[in-house]
Homo-oligomer: A and B are copies of this chain.
Amino acid sequence: MDEFHLIKQIVEALGGHQRNKWVALGPGDDAAIIDAEADTQQVASIDTLLAGVHFPEHAPPTLIGYRALMVALSDLAAMAAAPRYCLVSLTLPADLFADSSARPLSGTEWVAQLAHGMGEAAESCQTAICGGNLSQGPLSITVSVHGVVDKSKWVGRSGACPGDVVYLSGPLGGAAACVRQQHFEVNPGQALDDVQEAYFHPKARFDWRERLIANASAAIDVSDGLLQDLGHVLDASRCGANLDVAQVPIARGASLHDALSGGDDYQILFTAGCDVPGAIPIGKIVAGSEMTLDGTPLHAYPGLEQYGYQHFKT
């Protein structure tokens, strides 16, 4: 297997999703070319997912690829951007390509299925994977994602105001329940159950774009857990919040703790000074800097002394 052959297989497996109407030149040159759009701003983010940390390496590669792209795209959805293009850098271990009858898929098949899953996610979000990179090393997937907003129409983390309602785009905790149970085994032909669906098929909520632009004072995607991500909004907006715990929507198969502290669901958490159709109100922005649950400070709330996830916390 040589690199150039592998790239060809990947592009084939993308199923046409290496291009969209904005991509003027796709994979195969030093860089990709994408048409710029007047009166817009570009929105850009990058994410790395490591095997064994951010995804279970023995899961079906189609699901790994789908989820990797969606997780990265979610950051664009959280800014109320429309997705345009992605770049993917894969680091693949040499032993993926070693002969082994113990493995159900050859290295090339594995990578092609990964790319197929990415193509499915790209299709679902109408974006394209127009460039990438391959290197040999411990399995990881880095995705840089790029979208556009009409000039100044992006929604950041810093605009929440006392009096705003805190909203969610949907239920939380399903993906965290899947992780908590290490429930990653998927048999061919078998449908995913609820928590597996939440984990493997998150949906970057681009369907909320218009509503966020019209209504939201601040927004973030829930990737690290509701409490931690709300904390980021409060820090950036210099205000506090009180959540009504009974209003937090809990995904099927998840616990309250999963919903409050678990990441990986990629719903949008946002604030707005008005009613927003379809949004689930879970609390209020208040003056100060404290986060309370049912009026109780976070550090005193039973079972939540430690919450969220910090990659480097020691």
Query: A interface vs B, CB < 8 Å?
Result: 1-4, 6, 24-25, 28-50, 53-54, 75-76, 78-79, 81, 85, 87-89, 91-92, 97, 130-138, 140, 142, 144-149, 154, 156-158, 219-221, 236, 310-314
Contact = CB atoms under 8 A, between A and B. Distances in A.
Contact of A137 (B44, B50, B85): B50
A113 to B, nearest CB: 17
Contact of A2 (B34, B38, B78, B314): B314
Q: How many copies does the complex hold?
A: 2
Contacts of A75: 30-31
A46 B86 CA distance: 10
Contacts of A53: 135-137
Contact of A42 (B34, B38, B92, B154): B34
Contacts of A146: 42, 44, 146
Contacts of A35: 41-42
Which of A41, A54, A149 has the largest number of chain B CB atoms within 10 A? A41
6 contacts: A2-B313, A31-B43, A38-B38, A42-B42, A44-B87, A53-B137
B138 A88 contact: no
A140 B265 CA distance: 27
Contact of A142 (B89, B130, B154): B89
A158 B219 CA distance: 44
Contact of A311 (B3, B46, B78, B85): B3
B79 A29 contact: yes
A116 B54 CA distance: 28
Contacts of A25: 154, 156
Contact of A131 (B46, B81, B130, B134): B46
A193 B17 CA distance: 46
B313 A33 contact: no
B46 A132 contact: yes
Contacts of A40: 36
Given A42-B146, A89-B142, 19 more contacts: A3-B310, A3-B311, A29-B157, A30-B45, A33-B149, A33-B154, A34-B41, A35-B42, A36-B40, A36-B41, A44-B85, A46-B87, A46-B88, A50-B136, A89-B144, A135-B311, A136-B312, A137-B138, A146-B146
Closest 4 CB pairs of A and B: A144-B144, A31-B45, A46-B87, A38-B38
Contacts of A29: 79, 156-158, 236
